[in-house]
Amino acid sequence: MSEQELEEQVEGSVNDETEDTGETTESPDKASKNKSNFKKLSEALKEERRMKAELEEELNAWRSENPEIVKETLSKKETK
């Protein structure tokens, strides 16, 4: 699930819980369930960002170890 999808899901759940006055109309059980869902989504988003950072670091390391391949690939793309 992408970061944008997670944020949309969280925003959608927040919009469902409030009226025009901004007050919540849900039961306490539903409120705790929503907090739990938000926490799960938040943790999933943090994990996704951590994994993305690790992959980016690994890619940058590979690029620094293989500059000739990167340069060759970029020059091929420019000529097309």
Residue range 6-58, pLDDT digits in tens: 666 666 655 555 455 666 566 767 888 888 999 999 999 999 999 999 999 99
- Characterize 21-31 residue by residue with b for buried, 16 or more Cβ atoms within 10 angstroms of its Cβ, and e for exposed: eeeeeeeeeee
> 24 φ, ψ to 5°?
-80, 145
pTM (2 decimals)?
0.49
| Orientation angle between helical segments 28-65 and 3-17, nearest 10 degrees | 170
pLDDT tens-digit series, residues 38-50: 999 999 999 999 9
* DSSP three-state, residue 25: coil
Q: Residue with structure tokens 């690790």?
A: 54
Q: Residue with structure tokens 């989504």?
A: 41
Q: Report domain extents, the chain.
A: 3-79
